[in-house]
Amino acid sequence: MRIIKYMTEALHKAKKKMSPIIEVLLRQIYFTGVEAFPIIIFSGLLIGLIIVLQIMSITGTGSSSIIGKILLVIVLKEIGPLFTGLIILTRSGSAIVTELATMKLGREIYYIEAMGIKPEVYLLKPRLYGVTFSALVLCVYFQLAALFGGVFIASFLMGVSFSENMNALFDQFYLKDVAIAFLKSLLFGFAICLICIWHGISVKKSPTEIPQRTTKALTGGIFFLFLIDVIIDFITKMI
C-alpha cells in the first residue's frame, strides 16, 4: 500500500512540473494510442483469421510457406497500415475536428492567443506528433495480432504445429516490407491529423459547421489514405 501511495504522489508531483505542451501531447497519445489498443488487437486477430481463411478457400491447405508469404505481404504492406489508419481516422480524427472546431467557435483559441500562447505550439503540434507516433505503434500491434491470428487458424486447419508455421512465416520475413509498413503508418498518421486539424480550425461562425467539417475530414482522410498507399506502392515497385 505504501508503494502505491508513493507512486501516486510521485505522479502528481511530475504532473505539476510537466510542461502544458507535453501534457497535451501525452493526452493525445493516451487517447489515440492507449485507449484504441483493445480495438486494434481485436481487429487484427479477426483480420488475420479472415485473410488465412480466404487464402485457403482459393489455394486449399497448401503449404506453410505459401500461406506465410501471402499473409506477410498483405498484413505488413497493405492491410496493417491502412486498417490502422482508418481506425485512427474515424476515432481520433473526428474527435480532433470536433474539439478544435468547438474551441474556435467558443473563442478559446482567440483567448489562448491573447495570453501570448501560440495555438500551433500548444494545440496543433502536440496533436500532430501524438497521432503520428500512435499510428506507428498501433500499426505494429495490429500487424502482430493479425499475424498471430492468421498463423493460429492456419495451424488449426492444416494440422501443423504453431511453431512450424511461425518458422515458415519468419522465413518469408524481409526488412524491406517492415520499412514500407513503418513509412506508410507514419505518413498515414501525419496526413490524418493534418487534415483533421485543418478542418477543425476552418469553421467560421455556425455550430452546424462542426458535423459538416467532420464529414469532410473523414471522407478526405480516406481519399488521402488510399492515395498515399498507391503512391508508396508505385514508388517501391519502381525501385
Q: What is the mean pLDDT of the chain?
A: 83
The 10s digit of each residue's pLDDT in 94-127 is: 999 999 999 888 888 888 888 887 878 888 889 9
Question: How many Cβ atoms from other residues are within 10 Å of residue 7's Cβ?
Answer: 10
Tell me the percentage of the chain whose pLDDT exceeds 70: 88
Buried b (16+ CB within 10 A) or exposed e, 120-136: eebbbbbbbbbbbbbbb
> In this model, does residue 9 exceed pLDDT 60?
no
Alpha-carbon distance values, 112 to 103, 119, 156, 204 (Å): 10, 7, 58, 18
Cβ(106)–Cβ(207) under 8 Å?
no
> In this model, does residue 216 exceed pLDDT 90?
yes
What is the rounded average pLDDT of the residues 37-63?
A: 83
Cβ(183)–Cβ(132) under 8 Å?
no
> In this model, does residue 217 exceed pLDDT 70?
yes
The 10s digit of each residue's pLDDT in 151-182 is: 888 777 776 677 777 777 777 777 888 888 89
In the numeric block, the cell 496543433 is attached to: 124
In the numeric block, the cell 492567443 is attached to: 113
> In this model, does residue 7 exceed pLDDT 70?
no
Record the pTM: 0.84
